Each structure stands twice: as C-alpha cells, then as structure tokens.
Amino acid sequence: MNDPLARQRAMVAQHPENELARFSLGKALYDRGDWAGAREHLQVALSKRADWMVVQILLGKIELQTGNREGARAAFLAARQLAIDQHHEGPLAELDELLSG
C-alpha cells in the first residue's frame, strides 16, 4: 500500500478511537482540500483530546475555507486560549494574526 492516504484510512478503520490516527488522516485530507473529510476526523481527534491546539487551529482554518467566519473565530479563540495555557508563543502570534484579519 504505497498511497499514504490509503494507509491512514486503513489505520483509522483498524483503530477508530485512536486520536493520532484520526489526526493523521484529517491532516492529510486537509492538505488535499477535502474540508468535510478533514473536519470529520479532526473533530473526532479533538473530542478525544480537547487540549489539542493544532487540531483546533486546523478546524478554524477549515471554517474559514468553507465561509464560516463565526465558526472560524470561535475555533481560533479556543485555540488562542490553549496557546496561552500551553505557553506556545509561535502559534499565539499566528492566531492573533488570524483573528485580526
């Protein structure tokens, strides 16, 4: 199985409750512009680990891509608080920029 996406789908099929498998598939789908598919898997990952800042940021970016500015803002605000709580200065600066735009 040389297709990375097929491998990631197989991993999720084998371990549907594994948040890392869900994140990996969600990120791959995001990178391909499959917003609905990415959202589905990233939301599952976030439901397993509510403090996963990167997932929260990606979900916000998906909302921007799909025209849901309010949803994006809510996701970015949640991610911003996680960045503060987790002392992540780089993502905090990125989130401040996203929120000001």
Angle at 78 between CA 60 and CA 71, to 5 degrees: 40
pLDDT score recorded for residue 3? 84
Give the end-to-end CA distance of the chain in Å, rounded to a whole number.
Answer: 41
pLDDT score recorded for residue 84? 97
Cβ 35 vs Cβ 66: under 8 Å = yes
pLDDT score recorded for residue 1? 56
Could you state, in chain order, the average pLDDT of each consecutive group of 10 residues for the chain (101 residues)?
A: 86 96 97 97 97 98 97 98 96 95 79
| Distance from the Cα of residue 31 to its chain's centroid | 11
Instruction: Domain ranges for the chain, please list them.
Output: 1-49, 50-101
pLDDT score recorded for residue 79? 98
